[in-house]
Amino acid sequence: MQCETKVQEPEVTMPDPVDPGPIGTADDTAIKILFIGNSLTYFNGQPHLFWYMANAAGKKLYVDQATIPSAQLYHHLESDFTKRKIKAQKWDFVILQEAIGELAFPDYHQEMIAIIQVLKNDILANNPQTKIIYFLPWASQGGVLSNLRFYTYAEFQKLLKDGAVAIARKMDLIVAPVGWAWYQVIQEKPEILLFNLDGSHPAPEGSYLSAGVYYATIFQETVVNNPYETLLDKSLANYLQEIASKTVLDSLDYWNIKKTR
């Protein structure tokens, strides 16, 4: 997904949304969170996984998702499904997830910003208090060929980090440094398989790490010792919790994370 090299015009027809429905109770005491994205979000049921992790820590959440296979944010601009989801609740947080190679290259940023701005306007029109979080993607496992140049995984991951931070600062968005947490694990313990066999989508370990990053980003709290380990070995879950927490909490200013609660 990260190796596209030209921002495309919105397509008329998109695949059907993947919509398992919300989890939690949407009362006045719940923190309401909406994920907007594609298969990198809905693989392994990551929004629900995040809810279970937060619930295990005593948080009261209502979590929903507007997820469409292969969709980038410009597709969501044209999606009635996504528009309905945005208007469904007064969201406390909305996560914008895309995985597009142009993020690595500043020449494309202005066009991307224009797309994000429309979504931001719609989200804030629904609730001016919503905090918008921008997903920092992971690079493809095997690297990326773009504009006749090959970038290794590590090279492209660094470019994606710089691009996500640059856009978030220009638009005053919070960065969820998911891809950078992946990078830390891959550098330290490459034997941990975060990628699905396709080298792009997350394995269960990758989705668990991603959920931990969202937890630390939203609550500015460590996820270490969270009792929700799903099917992972306890020592592996603890390590992923540590990486997620450290990646976020050691660099709050860099990720443009302000006190939100």
Query: Would the pLDDT of 181 be above 90?
Result: yes
Q: How confident is the model at residue 4 (pLDDT cuts 50, 70, 90)?
A: very low
Measuring CA to CA, which residue among 214, 204, 206 is closest to residue 185? 206
Region of 147 on the Ramachandran plot (φ > 0 left; ψ -120 to 50 alpha; else beta): left
Domain boundaries, the chain: 23-177
Q: How confident is the model at residue 147 (pLDDT cuts 50, 70, 90)?
A: confident
- Kindly report, residue by residue over 186-217, the tens digit of the pLDDT: 999 999 999 999 999 999 999 999 999 999 99
| Predicted pLDDT of residue 3 | 44
- Kindly report, residue by residue over 110-135, the tens digit of the pLDDT: 999 999 999 999 999 999 999 999 99
What spatial distance separates the first Cα and last Cα of the chain, rounded to whole Å? 34
Which stretches of the chain are assigned E, i.e. beta strand? 23-24, 31-37, 61-67, 93-96, 131-135, 144-146, 149-151, 174-176
Q: How confident is the model at residue 14 (pLDDT cuts 50, 70, 90)?
A: confident
Query: Would the pLDDT of 9 be above 60?
Result: no
Average pLDDT of the chain?
Answer: 94
- Kindly report, residue by residue over 221-244, the tens digit of the pLDDT: 999 999 998 999 999 999 999 999
Query: Would the pLDDT of 254 be above 50?
Result: yes
Residues 76/69, Cβ–Cβ less than 8 Å: no
How many other C-beta atoms can be found within 10 angstroms of the C-beta atom of residue 60? 12
What DSSP state is assigned to residue 44? G
Measuring CA to CA, which residue among 84, 92, 88 is closest to residue 29? 92
CATH architecture of 23-177: 3-Layer(aba) Sandwich (3.40)
